[in-house]
Amino acid sequence: MASVKENLEKVRERLARAARRAGRSPEDVLLVAVSKTVPVERIREGVAAGLTVLGENRVQEAKEKIQALGRVAVSWHLVGHLQTNKVKDALALFDLIHSLDRLSLAEELDRRAQAARGRADVLVQVNVAEEASKGGFSPEELRPALETLSRLSGLRVRGLMAIPPEPQELEDSRPHFKTMRTLFESARAWRLPGLELEALSMGMSADFEVAIEEGATIVRVGTAIFGPRPA
């Protein structure tokens, strides 16, 4: 298995080339290293190699890793589904929640954040391919959802997120990313009060270069950095 440092260098090179192909600066794209199921020592290698943002799928797993690795050198993002009963812990652990996928979750995040006299930084998940197996708002539901979210003072809506179907070929994801870019630009043009739409989180190990070409400002890359996940 290649070292995390070697893998990270290759991912950064690919990210930079994709950004330049799109006429963008590599610095405009935030790399989130998805560390779910990855042992702490291998994550530590990544941090030593320069990783600054880690993404976790589960609250309990993240809690244990944050206890082991701390928060000084890195920030932590929740990139997986969030159960309503885990909201209090999630707000204490994560700097950004990528997966706001339903209004009931928004209401609980808002309530808990206001009780703590803070605001929850979130991305709104769009079910761009309208898959029954995935959460998120459909493209048609996005505007009314954002209008509702704009009235929740405990939320700071920072942008949109999507998880398209797993691609069989590299180009399979491009139409979904194009749709997300259009939705993102539309949402910004709506100028809804209270929203700070600056981030578009899309693209993973199999397709992050295409996502960058289509406007992603955040990519979530795990396997390409840390290697294959344990079975």
Between helix 174-190 and helix 142-149 the angle, nearest 10°, is 40
SS (H, E, C) 44-56: HHHHHCCCCEEEE
The tens digit of pLDDT for each residue in 106-157 reads: 999 999 999 999 999 999 999 999 999 999 999 999 999 999 999 999 999 9
Q: Give the total number of structural domains in the chain.
A: 1
The answer as to whether 54 is a domain residue is yes
**Tens-place pLDDT, residues 161-203:** 999 999 998 899 999 999 999 999 999 999 999 999 999 999 9
Please indicate, yes or no, if residue 231 is contained in any of the structural domains. Answer: no
- C-alpha 138/C-alpha 127 separation (Å) is 5
CATH of the domain at 188: 3.20.20.10
The answer as to whether 202 is a domain residue is: yes
Residue 48 forms part of a structural domain: yes
Residue 122 lies in a domain: yes
Q: Which domain holds residue 129?
A: 4-226
Kindly give the residue spans of alpha helices, DSSP state H, lying in the chain.
4-21, 40-48, 59-69, 87-93, 103-115, 142-149, 174-190, 208-213, 223-226
Please report whether residue 35 resides in a domain. yes
Query: Whole-number mean pLDDT of the chain?
Result: 96
